[in-house]
Amino acid sequence: MSAHSHIDGELPHEPERATLEGRNKVLGFWLFLGGETVLFGTLFSVYLSLRDQVLGGPPSQELFKLSMVAIATFLLLTSSLTSVFAVQAMHRNDVKSMINWLAVTVILGLSFLGLEIYEFFQYVNEGHAFTTSAFSTSFYTLVGFHGAHVAFGVIWISMLIVQVKRKGLNVVTAPKVYVASMYWHFIDVVWVFIFTVVYLMGKVG
C-alpha cells in the first residue's frame, strides 16, 4: 500500500513506522539520542570531578533544597506518562485525546522550567553564581543544558500540536509525534540521573 493512501484515510496500526521515511526518522533519532547520551555523559563526568571545588561559595549540602527539586522531578516524570498517553491515543487514532495529552505534557514541562528558573535565582542570591567556583560552573552547565533541552522539547511539541490541528494525523505527522515523545522520555531519564547524581549525592555529600 502506498504512503499517500494513508495520508487522509484511516491510519495503519503503527503509523510512525508505516512508511520508509517514518522508519528512517525513528532510526535516525535513536542515533541522535546516542550522541546526546555521550554529550550528557561528558557533562556528568566534568561535574563529578569538580563538585568539591566550591572555593568561597556555598557547598551543595547547604545549597540544595530537595523539596523543590522533588516537586520538579514529579512534574517531569508525570509529563513522561502523559506523553505515553498521547502516543497511545495516536495508535487509537484518537486525535483529540492525543492533542490534549500533548498539551498537558507541555504545561508540565513549562511548570518544571518555571521551578528550575526560580531555583537558579535563589542559588544566585545565596552566592552560587555561574562564575563563583568550578563547582557552580559545572552545576549550571549540566543542569542548564538539560533545562535548555526541556525548553526545546516544549517548543517542539507545541509546534506539533499546531501542525496536527492544521494537517491532521497521518503517516507524515505521526512519526514526528512519536519521535518527539522519544525525545521527551530521553530528557526525563537524564533528569533522573541529575536528581540522583547532583541533588541526592550532593545533599549527602
- With bands split at pLDDT 50, 70 and 90, how would you rate the model's confidence at 13? confident
Specify the 3-state DSSP secondary structure of 200. Answer: helix
- Statement: residue 3 has pLDDT above 50: no
Distance CA 200, CA 205 (A): 8
Q: What is the pTM of this model?
A: 0.91
- Statement: residue 7 has pLDDT above 50: no
Average pLDDT value for residue range 163-187: 95
Q: Residue 10: what pLDDT?
A: 62
Query: Identity (one letter) of the amino acid at 27?
Result: L
List the one residue out of 133, 154, 170, 165 whose CA is nearest residue 83.
154
Q: What is the pLDDT of residues 44-89, one digit of tens each?
A: 999 999 999 988 888 899 999 899 999 999 999 999 999 999 999 9
Longest CA–CA separation in the chain, Å? 67
To the nearest 10°, the Cα dihedral for 158, 94, 179, 12? -150
- Statement: residue 6 has pLDDT above 70: no
